Amino acid sequence: MSDPKKKSLDTLAVHGGEPRRHPYAALAAPIVQTATFTFSSTAELLSFLQGELPDAEEYGRYGNPSVRLVEEKIASLEAVDDGLAFGSGMAAVTTSILALVKSGSHVILFRDCYRRTRQFVRDVLGRFGVTHSIVESVSEMESALRAETRLVICEAPTNPFQRVVDLARVAEICRAKRVKTLVDSTFATPINLRPADLGIDLVVHSATKYLAGHNDVLGGVVCGSRGLVSLIRDLRHCIGGIMDPHAAYLVHRGIKTLAIRVARQNESALALARFLEADDRIKVVHYPGLPSHSSYEVASRLMSGFGGVVTFEVNASQEETSRFVDACKIPRIGPSLGGVESLIEQPALMSYYGMPREEREALGMVGGLVRYAVGIEDAQELIADTEAALARLR
């Protein structure tokens, strides 16, 4: 028998972090479209300032009830104390990192990660005297730890090669050295992976992707312990990257269907990955749900699903691969992932277009590489569409 007090992720996605009734007994969450909040008297203001009115707000850059609902829902799904919502995933990533480092700190970053996160750590933090090491594995991470190391940053699964490092090991090693850990869990979602359960301190998501899920809004969240979240909140007050109330409404509404969307995307992506792997026009498929993937064992142990993104390399030139991409009728060509619509792209022509060829290829972004972000369309139709497009290759 399941513990009736312990709700499943399906139920938490719908109800988690919400009051039994919203104002006016509305079932849907209200959009509190205001920049400022008022007090009925100086006495009320003083009680607020003394922390006696925890649900009250003062000014929109510090907090908003619509935004608060997103923060409480993500905290409930990740099973942590508290969360914070931002205007974009990168606002969440950068504000969280900045809150934890100072001049002289050292940061460790796993190589396969979101390009802008790498750019921020390398180029921006570098200007303020924060040093970093880029590592490929947990053992390299362990050797890179120094007395000044404050933070280890990784993604699970990584973009686009979908590697999954053993987060439990990362957390264990870092805890022993009092180094904080931050995982960008955008690709996994709390439905497939809960990094905090494995001992990770902070979990970040680009809410633009699976959480909101409809390719119609930008957002980001971070969540973790009360103490760490409060440090980041103080910095968000200064930097000002809070989520907008309208965006918060869309993200909150999106999360209601997160569990069923992700379950569907897990299933369809696995079917597509298996189909591609069996096709001899495909050189390699990077999907952690395939036994051939280097992270299959770790991913099977840590994750309850393998996600909706399938990366693969077509056995063809960049130009021929573009012909295949153009011949796919269902997915649209575009960056991003995690929405209801399938999207397809060649990383060499999208996120990495501006990078010199040798540098790009050293990162594995070769011309034949394709990232397919599966939506919620019918899986058999997605596969038939892919098969027809592959037939256009010589």
List interacting residues with ligand PLP (CB under 6 A): 88-90, 93, 114, 155, 159, 184, 186-187, 206, 208-209, 218, 220
* Identity of the residue, 186 or 346, whose beta carbon is nearer to ligand PLP in the bound complex: 186
Tell me the closest approach of the beta carbon of residue 220 to ligand PLP, in angstroms.
Answer: 5
Nearer to ligand PLP, 64 or 206 (CB): 206
Q: Which residues pair with 285 in a beta bridge?
A: 312
- Nearest-CB residue for ligand PLP: 89
**Shortest approach of ligand PLP to residue 26 CB, angstroms?**
28
DSSP code of 59?
A: B
Q: Residue 218 has what DSSP assignment?
A: -
Q: Which residue, 82 or 112, has its beta carbon nearer to ligand PLP?
A: 112
Q: How far is the CB of 67 from ligand PLP (least distance, A)?
A: 15
CB of 323 to ligand PLP, least distance (A): 27
Cβ atoms of 273 and 285 closer than 8 Å = yes
CA distances from 55 to 12, 69, 168 (A): 21, 11, 35
Closest to ligand PLP by CB, 90 or 258? 90
Name the residue nearer to ligand PLP (CB basis): 145 or 152: 152
Owner of token pair 């060829």: 357
State how far the Cα of 64 lies from the Cα of 35, in Å rounded to an integer: 9
Residue environment code for 352-363, b if the CB has 16+ CB neighbours within 10 A, otherwise e: beeeeeeebeeb
Within 13 Å, how many C-alpha atoms sit on residue 85's CB side? 30
Give the sign of the dihedral formed by CA 335, CA 304, CA 223, CA 247: positive
Give which of 203, 139, 133 is closest to 170, Cα–Cα.
Answer: 139
Q: 208 or 266: whose CB is closer to ligand PLP?
A: 208
Least distance from C-beta 202 to ligand PLP, angstroms?
14
- First CA to last CA across the chain, in angstroms? 56
Judged by beta carbon, residue 94 or residue 389, the one nearer ligand PLP is 94
Least distance to ligand PLP, CB of residue 206, Å: 3
- Considering the complex, what minimum distance in angstroms separates the CB of residue 187 from ligand PLP? 6
Closest distance of CB 66 from ligand PLP, Å = 18
Q: How far is the CB of 219 from ligand PLP (least distance, A)?
A: 6
Distance, in Å, from the CA atom of 267 to the CA atom of 172, rounded to the nearest integer, reads 31
Report which DSSP code applies to 54: T
Given the complex with ligand PLP, which of 205 and 293 has the nearer CB atom?
Answer: 205
Contact 333, 321 (CB under 8 A): no
* Choice between 180 and 209, CB closer to ligand PLP: 209
CB of 129 to ligand PLP, least distance (A): 25
CA 249 remoteness from chain centre:
19
Please state, in angstroms and rounded to a whole number, the distance separating the CA atoms of residues 153 and 170.
Answer: 10
Under 8 Å CB-to-CB from 74, ≥6 apart: which residues? 17, 83, 85, 190, 205, 207, 211, 221, 223, 255
Residue with Cβ nearer ligand PLP (170 or 218): 218
